[in-house]
Every structure is written in structure tokens, then in C-alpha cells.
Amino acid sequence: MEKTWHKIFENETEAKAQVPLRQTKLLAVAGKEICLAHTAAGFVAIQDACPHLGSSLSRGKINYLNEVVCPWHSYRYDLRSGKECDYRTRNAKTYPLEIREDGLYIGLLEKQE
């Protein structure tokens, strides 16, 4: 499978204005729903659907450990690795981000036909 890069913001300043520190935003990119989180270490992207029962992680909160906490059952996912912190369910998929001169990009694997 090949990775395709999609521009999600024109620049880092625009991203920071739309997603304040320790907040999340739901993005729809190439048919996928993605939770974009702004942490002290920068931006990270994780699948939006909680692997437990599908709640939107972008409606959750970011805790002091840089985990997103699902709003339904409080499952916690490490924003860097997607690991579910208590080993109760599957890990969440994470996506690479790149800040380039012309914008903030997300990398998605595209299925080849």
C-alpha cells in the first residue's frame, strides 16, 4: 500500500488557531474520520472511532499524560502510539503528520486495486 499525503491546514498557525492546545478536532480526510489533537509536543492524529464501541475520540478530553480519553467509557489512548492504556481493547490507529512550508499534511495509506 502506498501513502498519500493530504493537506489539512495551510500552515501551523492556522492549525493552532483552529485546534487550541490540549484540544481535539474531528477531520474528514479521504473518506476517513480522524481525531487531530494539539498537545504540548505538537499535533498528532489518531482514528476518531474508539476501538471499544466506536464513540468519537474527538469529543473526548486530553489528559495530562497526553492520552485522549473516550467520552463514553473512559478508555484512554496514547496519542503518540495509539496504545490503549489499560489493555482492555484494541489499540487505535495513528497517522503521520508533516509540517511543510506550504501547510500541515497527514499521511494515509491508500489501498491499491
Alpha helices in the chain (DSSP H): 12-18
| 8-63 pLDDT, tens digit each | 999 999 999 999 999 999 999 999 999 999 999 999 999 999 999 999 999 999 99
| Confidence (pLDDT) at 2 | 85
Please give the CATH architecture assigned to the domain spanning 2-110.
3-layer Sandwich (2.102)
Query: How far separated are the first and last CA of the chain, in Å rounded?
Result: 10
Tell me the backbone φ, ψ of residue 15, rounded to 5 degrees: -60, -45
The rounded mean pLDDT for the chain is 95
Q: CA-to-CA distance for 106 and 21, rounded, in angstroms?
A: 19
- For the whole model, what pTM was predicted? 0.93
- pLDDT score of 113 more than 80: no
Q: pLDDT class for 77, splitting at 50, 70, 90? A: very high
Q: Report the amino acid identity of residue 55.
A: S
What local confidence, expressed as pLDDT, does residue 110 receive?
77
Helices (H) and strands (E) in the chain, counts: 1, 10
Reported as a pLDDT band with limits 50, 70 and 90, residue 80 is very high
Paired strand residues for 6: 106
